Amino acid sequence: MWKLITRFVKRWMRREHVTNGTLLRAIQDLEDGLSTASLGSSLYKVRAARKGQGKSGGYRTLIVYRQGDRAIVVYGFKKSDVDNIADDELALFRELAATLLALSAEQIEVAIENEELYRIEEESDEK
């Protein structure tokens, strides 16, 4: 299964010190049906823990997901910074979800080569 992030999410992770492990746990929670809300069009809002604050005061991620095929984190934010996604933003994220789900394996590989998408690599949260 593809586990990917967008260029935007990569920058957000660096700025917020979010680890790959945090996003991999969010994807696992989505697969397990924990801490998730379906936003339609294969787009899910998933809670992710923030170090020292847990999930309730932590991050929210938007993940495009097709079971057994791909999970692409397209947006992340601190719960304290953004209360909810506006309707017009949600419409754009749903369009993005449709586009990302329509990509073939070859197109995903090209997007990775062009650094438009990045694989989420396993890593330890310990530093």
**CA-to-CA distance for 108 and 70, rounded, in angstroms?**
10
Mean pLDDT to the nearest integer, 23-48: 95
Q: What is the pLDDT of residues 72-115, one digit of tens each?
A: 999 999 988 887 899 999 999 999 999 999 999 999 999 999 99
pLDDT at residue 55, as a whole number: 79
Q: Is the pLDDT of residue 126 over 60?
A: no
**CA-to-CA distance for 65 and 101, rounded, in angstroms?**
8
Q: Is the pLDDT of residue 30 over 80?
A: yes
What are the angstrom distances between the C-alpha of 47 and each of 56, 58, 63, 81, 99?
Answer: 8, 7, 10, 14, 23
**How large a percentage of the chain has pLDDT more than 90?**
80
Q: Are 71 and 100 in contact (CB under 8 A)?
A: no
Q: Where are the domains of the chain?
A: 2-119
Burial call 30-48: b when 16+ CB within 10 Å, e when fewer: beeeebbeebebbbbbbbb
Confidence band for 127, pLDDT divided at 50, 70 and 90: very low
Residues 6+ apart with CB under 8 A from 126: none
